Structure 1
Amino acid sequence: MVLYVLQRLAVLAATLVAASLIVFAVMNILPGNAAQTMLGSTATPEAVAALAQKLGLDQPAPVRYAHWIGGALRGDFGLSYAYGSPIAPLIATSLAVSAPLAIMAMALAAGISLAAGVYAADRRGRTGDAIVMGASQVGLAVPNFWLAILLVIVFAVNLRLAPAGGFPGWDQPMRALGALILPAVALGVVQAAILTRVTRSAVLEALNEDFMRTARAKGVSRRSALWRHALPNALVPILTIMGLQFANLIAGAIVVENVFVLPGLGRLMLQSISNRDTLVVENCVMLTAMIVIALNFVVDLACAAIDPRLRGPAA
């Protein structure tokens, strides 16, 4: 297991380096200029050049990359071109909204999908299975933004059970959690639909294994065999999808955050792109890539702990 962990750490480090190079290269080949955007189209070339020099935009790409990575390793992400303030607090404030939102959405999706997927697998080919699969198909077809708007109309405008938008801050924890409920539902329903189908398929495969027949022959009840034997042995593909979904929830909530006017990471990225604030975008995208890579690393370790065969012959 130690060798497997070391191998995965080496892959993680190499992937982070490759991701940083790709992010930096993409951001620097995009058209436009932050200095020109900040000064406006009427600014003189001399003023644009002076501001670009002040911001360090006139330096060669390798030098800017080295400064960016060196600062990031020290915890210094630089200054935002548009806001004129350190980037680290901006990202931390946004992540304090996006991370809890993603956790709530993922918890909702996992709770629904595990129960529904196991139920559908246990009733394969029957009415219950058809209902669950039909509902999951509807969930896949519903766009997040449409569901978000519908939730606002029904629960915020008509029933007045939840706020329509905005975020009061974590100094008011109950109101803050209340502000995240509808966005979490809007994000979690689609993820639950995907995960339900994966859970059903994985559990069905486990139900056909020899150990299930052995458990039933020993007198284990069908329900107990389903939850204590089939589901644990079906967790590898389920955990893999959950890891990818959680990363997507943090990075892909831009539309929902804008519908509910939440100051999350997606909204910060969208505003930074509009302002051509490339350094903020670089750090946000790199942070997202780090989260995805780290989650994949954790999922790999969890799957290897569940199924030792995944560690390889040398592990």
Structure 2
Amino acid sequence: MGEYLVKRLLLAIPTVIGVVTLVFFAIHLAPGDPVALMIPPDLPAGIREEREAAIRARYGFDKPLHVQYLTYLGNIARLDLGRSLRTNARIIDELPQRFVNTLQLGILAMMVSTTLGVTLGVISAVKRGTWIDNATMFGALFGVSIPNFWFGLLLMLGVGLYWGVLPPSGFNGSILTWEGFRHAILPAITLGTGSAAILARFARSSVLDVIVQDYVRTARAKGLAERVVVLRHVLKNALIPIITLLGLQFGAVLSGAVVTETVFAWPGVGRYLITGINGRDFPVVQGTVIFIAIGFVLINLVTDLLYAYIDPRVRFR
């Protein structure tokens, strides 16, 4: 298992470096000048040029692009993601609390999607060909098709504003408190619905592959109750591919949080990224994307290790 872990870690390093490289050059080659946006437009030309030169020298924008890139790699190795062009705050200090907020929302959304998706997928497979199966798959298709922001706005308008059952936006604190949990319900449902639909379809397919196996027929022939057959023999063996998808879906949930956090004014990494993009804040965008990319790599690593633990054959491939 240790050798497998080392192998996966070594494979993760080039992925992170590739993301850093892609993000760095994509942002710096994009049109627009963030330095020009930082200076009041009504300044005299001479003062404006001096101010621009000072800002470029301060942030290293006056150096060649390849020098900036190598400097940035060195800074990342020292866990220095730079400072915001807008607030001058250290990005590495800004991200942890925002990441905790995003992680809380992501965990709650995954609880919604896993519980709903796997349960409906198993029921749909067991009731294959019935109206229950058809209704479940239609609902899954609907869940995959609707955009997150549209569904979130519907929940906000209906449940939050019209009925006033739950807070429509905002968050401050922890989902472990009642008030924090109430604020997290609508964005978690919004974020988890699409993943639940995908999981339902995948779980149905996985269960159908297992349910026709000989050992399942043998278990039924022994007179075991259908509930015991499904939970003990079918679901246990159908979980391996589902766990792999769960890891991928958790990454997708974190990326989907960019839109959901903006809609619900959730103070997470996604909203921080959108603020940086709107303000042409290069360091914020770079640091946030790299932070998210490392999170993706770690999630995939944990998924691979869990997969290898459940199915030892994976370690020897």
Would the TM-score normalized by the shorter structure come out above 0.5? yes
Unpaired runs of 5+ in structure 1?
A: none
Query: Given the alignment, which residue of 169, 175, 178 partners 2:182?
Result: 178
Provide the rounded CA distance (Å) in 1 between the counterparts of 2:200 and 2:176. 34
Change (3 A) 1:171 1:248: closer
Q: Deviations over 1:233-291 (max 9, x none)?
A: 12232122211221122222222222211222111111101111111111111111111
Provide the rounded CA distance (Å) in 2 between the counterparts of 1:248 and 1:138. 18
The aligned residue for residue 245 of structure 1 is 249
Provide the rounded CA distance (Å) in 2 between the counterparts of 1:279 and 1:165. 27
Q: How far 1:144 sits from its partner (Å)?
A: 1.3
Change (3 A) 1:182 1:59: same
Decide which moves more: 253-262 or 184-193: 253-262
> Over aligned residues, Cα RMSD in angstroms?
2.0
Provide the rounded CA distance (Å) in 2 between the counterparts of 1:42 and 1:251. 39
1:187–1:256 CA contact under 8 A, matched in 2:
yes
Q: How far 1:51 sits from its partner (Å)?
A: 1.1
Letter in 2 for 1:143: P
Matching of residue 101 in structure 1 with residue 105 in structure 2: yes
Unpaired runs of 5+ in structure 2?
A: none
The aligned residue for residue 79 of structure 2 is 75
3-state DSSP of counterpart to 1:168: coil
Q: How does 1:33-44 map to 2 (within 5 A)?
A: 33-41=33-41, 44=48
The aligned residue for residue 16 of structure 1 is 16
Q: How far 1:42 sits from its partner (Å)?
A: 5.3
Provide the rounded CA distance (Å) in 2 between the counterparts of 1:4 and 1:172. 36
Q: How does 1:209-288 map to 2 (within 5 A)?
A: 209-288=213-292
Q: How far 1:218 sits from its partner (Å)?
A: 3.7
Q: How far 1:113 sits from its partner (Å)?
A: 0.8
Q: How much identity, in percent, do the aligned residues show?
A: 35
1:34–1:276 CA contact under 8 A, matched in 2:
yes
Matching of residue 307 in structure 1 with residue 311 in structure 2: yes
Q: TM-score when scaled to structure 2?
A: 0.92
3-state DSSP of counterpart to 1:39: coil
2:191–2:256 CA contact under 8 A, matched in 1:
no
Letter in 1 for 2:171: F
Provide the rounded CA distance (Å) in 1 between the counterparts of 2:191 and 2:145. 13
Matching of residue 89 in structure 1 with residue 93 in structure 2: yes
Provide the rounded CA distance (Å) in 2 between the counterparts of 1:229 and 1:6. 33
Decide which moves more: 144-153 or 2-11: 2-11
Query: Given the alignment, which residue of 146, 150, 153 partners 1:149?
Result: 153
Matching of residue 208 in structure 1 with residue 212 in structure 2: yes
Provide the rounded CA distance (Å) in 1 between the counterparts of 2:65 and 2:233. 55
